[in-house]
Amino acid sequence: MLREAPATTRIPALLKSNEKEILQDWLKEQTGSASFRADLLKEKDLREESHTFLGALQTATQGNSIDDVAGEGWSGVKDFLSDLSRSRAQAGFTPSETATFVFSLKQPLFSMLRREMKGDAEGLVKEMLGTSVLLDKLGLFTTEAYQATREDVISRQKDELLELSTPVVELWDDVLAVPLVGTLDSARTQIVMETLLEKIVSTGASIAIIDITGVPTVDTLVAQHLLKTVAATRLMGADCIISGIRPQIAQTIVHLGVNLGEVITKATLADAFRVALQRTGWRIEKKDGERG
Amino acid sequence: MIPRGAAQRPVAGGVKLPSRTPEDIVRIRQLLREQAKAIGFSLVDQTKIVTAASELARNTMVYGGGGEVEIQFLSEGMRKGLRLTFIDQGPGIADVELAMKDGFTTGGGLGLGLGGAKRLCNEFSIDSRPGSGTRVTIARWK
Amino acid sequence: MERIPILKMGPFLLVTIQVDMHDQLALTLQDDLTAKISKERSRGVLIDISALDVVDSFIGRMIANISAMARVLDAQTVVVGMQPSVAITLVELGLPLEGVHTALNVEKGMALLHRRLDEVRA
């Protein structure tokens, strides 16, 4: 699979013949740098990673142009860097600390090129420039991969936070309450629906009160999300009451022409609770005989 | 929603299944459910893509005179997903825009379920012309 | 030929859908149900879909049809046991399932049917 085609640069050949020395120099650069995290990375592991990367780099530069890293031939190198970034990101390295892995290879490679190409000034400049640009591209790629991992972590944490901040409360036999606090976007709505419906199954509740006192704005989208939640709850055989409708929200709903249909709406959670109790057959009496 | 970064590279070739009979639809659902589960889709997301596939497979069978579906595993960095392409050589759809409108009542609308299927997926595209068959592609990412 | 069994539970009929429905099975079910509602003079039909992890527009239409036909024969239909992920998907799909009553399980479904019958009688 490895075409021994004439490479356009001397890098692959030099990498092959000077492998041990480059690896030594590179490791020295990395561990000697101010940003080296001895607390997060063992030298043995770094040596292994560096060795693997040099191998992948040698293969890639052998059969492919070093000017364009988008091609299929560079996927090996890029996959390795993706994995490296991911594990570094998860271990707590900063983006710079992670990209240093690639950038710190420049000096050792330049030193090698200067040694090997002593008499060829023009060729040396060309190789050094090509190498520099290549490592810049790979370094940037490493940073992007790092970003992607961090975003993934953040998104997962966001989901967990979302779940925690959307508690479904068992208010009474048969009655659940979902106090919503914060904006109701589609991600939140999904979590609310899933949590609420699971709770309906596990408690057998027949009424769910969705309190939107803590929802700052209600526009057409939010109204749609609410209606979706109501519809899904109905399919599970339960009814919804929406409470916490402030006067401004009532106006917005009418202006937007949102059709709440048969959904019961109440101004306060207390009012909604009273209705829920009534519908589930409960009556509250004050101890000295007065009806509540 | 177009994924950023590196171009999509399906890791494995696609799986092709026929979509001609009701038994085919059942088989497509089962295989898709397994694949979605294997990728790690949440239960709701599994249900969404299997339901969308069921709708489109049914269309292919009922309106397209039978066809096939190709299921591809998508992988882009750490994101994983599934893409399905339904193809038939049927009469094609004259008014795609109208077909995308909802209409499930026995009577109104074409009842093609396209609008619904679109809502259940992250990506949706349709290519259909009278006389040249129909091709619908959907994708869902984890 | 495969048939979906229909159980008689007092004044009501119970249908449990457990397999992946295909067209012929659905049509047979509708025929069998209308026949049985008439014969037993049933006042209610319970459709248990707790085993279904996918409900597409085909099943949705079947349920709506059954509900409409039952109503003509003076019987109410209640769909029970919908799974949460199915409910969420159905809402997104846009399947209105209007006029179809739902309950969490068979027990609640029967209670609902009884309540509605009492209302009618009163």
CATH number where A35 lies:
1.10.490.130
Q: Quote the pLDDT of residue B84.
A: 96
Report H helices in chain B: 22-39, 43-62, 96-99, 114-120
CB within 8 Å: B44 and A82: no
Q: Quote the pLDDT of residue A81.
A: 93
How close, in Å, is residue A186 to chain C by CA atoms? 12
CB within 8 Å: C58 and B54: yes
Paired strand residues for C48:
C16, C80
Tell me: do A15 and A100 sit in the same domain: yes
Instruction: Look at residue B103 and tell me whether its pLDDT is greater than 60.
Output: no
Residues of chain A with pLDDT under 70: 1-8, 289-292
Residue B77 at interface with chain A, using a CB cutoff of 8 Å: yes
Residue B39 at interface with chain C, using a CB cutoff of 8 Å: no
Highest mean pLDDT among A241-250, B41-50, B101-110: B41-50
Exposed/middle/buried for residue A216 (C-beta within 10 Å: 0-12, 13-18, 19+) = exposed
Listed in order, strand segments (DSSP E) in B56-113 are 67-76, 79-88
Query: Closest residue of B to A79, CA-based?
Result: B77
- Note the pLDDT tens digit of each residue in A51-60: 999 999 998 9
CB within 8 Å: C84 and A198: yes
Please give the C-alpha separations between residue B97 and each of B30, B100, B114, B128, in angstroms, as whole numbers. Answer: 31, 5, 10, 11
Residue A41, in any domain of the structure:
yes
Tell me: do A15 and A48 sit in the same domain: yes
Residues of A in contact with B6 (CB under 8 A): 78
Residue C2 at interface with chain B, using a CB cutoff of 8 Å: no
Higher pLDDT, C19 or A226: A226
Instruction: Indicate the residue of B22, B50, B51 with minimum beta-carbon distance to C22.
Output: B22
Confidence of residue B13 (pLDDT cuts 50, 70, 90): low
Q: Quote the pLDDT of residue B1.
A: 36
**Number of domains comprising chain C:** 1
- Positive/negative CA dihedral, A188, A192, A194, A195: positive
Q: Quote the pLDDT of residue B7.
A: 36
Residues of C in contact with B63 (CB under 8 A): none
- Top residue of C17, C49, C56 to mutate, by most chain B CBs within 10 Å, is C56
Residues of C in contact with B47 (CB under 8 A): 53-54, 85-86, 88-89
Mean pLDDT of chain B: 83
Tell me: do A153 and A176 sit in the same domain: no
Q: Quote the pLDDT of residue B111.
A: 63
Higher pLDDT, B68 or C116: B68
Instruction: Look at residue B74 and tell me whether its pLDDT is greater than 60.
Output: yes
Greatest extent of chain C over all pairs of C-alpha atoms, in Å: 43
**CATH number for position C24:** 3.30.750.24
Tell me: do A173 and A232 sit in the same domain: yes
CB within 8 Å: C89 and B47: yes
Domain of residue A255 covers: 169-279
Percent of chain B exceeding pLDDT 90 equals 52
**Number of domains comprising chain A:** 2
- Note the pLDDT tens digit of each residue in A236-285: 999 999 999 888 888 888 888 777 777 899 999 999 999 999 998 888 88
Structure tokens at A205: 């509740």
Last residue of a domain, one of A124, A158, A192: A158
Residue C1, in any domain of the structure:
no
Tell me: do A188 and A154 sit in the same domain: no
- For residue A73, give the DSSP letter: G
Instruction: Look at residue B35 and tell me whether its pLDDT is greater than 70.
Output: yes
Tell me: do A100 and A138 sit in the same domain: yes
- The complex's ipTM works out to 0.90
Confidence of residue B44 (pLDDT cuts 50, 70, 90): very high
CB within 8 Å: B78 and A194: no
Which C residues in the span 68-107 are in contact with B, Cβ-Cβ below 8 Å?
Answer: 84-86, 88-89, 92-96
Tell me: do A30 and A146 sit in the same domain: yes
Paired strand residues for B124:
B138
| Nearest-angstrom CA–CA distance, A258 and A272 | 21
Domain B15-141 = CATH 3.30.565.10: yes
Residues of C in contact with A206 (CB under 8 A): 104, 108
Higher pLDDT, C112 or A253: C112
| Nearest-angstrom CA–CA distance, A93 and A96 | 8
Residues of B in contact with A228 (CB under 8 A): none
How close, in Å, is residue A178 to chain C by CA atoms? 17
First to last CA, chain A: 85
Residue A290, in any domain of the structure:
no
Report the pLDDT averaged over residues C108-117: 92
Q: Quote the pLDDT of residue A7.
A: 56
Residue A149, in any domain of the structure:
yes
Tell me: do A61 and A141 sit in the same domain: yes
How close, in Å, is residue A247 to chain C by CA atoms? 29
Q: Quote the pLDDT of residue C1.
A: 61
Residue C11, in any domain of the structure:
yes
Question: Domain-by-domain residue ranges, chain B?
Answer: 15-141
Please give the C-alpha separations between residue B104 and each of B108, C57, C81, in angstroms, as whole numbers. Answer: 7, 7, 22
Residues of B in contact with A146 (CB under 8 A): none
Residue A99, in any domain of the structure:
yes
Domain of residue C80 covers: 6-121
Residue C33, in any domain of the structure:
yes
Instruction: Look at residue C99 and tell me whether its pLDDT is greater than 90.
Output: no
Three-state secondary-structure class, residue A70: coil
Tell me: do A112 and A208 sit in the same domain: no
**CATH number for position A246:** 3.30.750.24
Instruction: Look at residue B5 and tell me whether its pLDDT is greater than 60.
Output: no
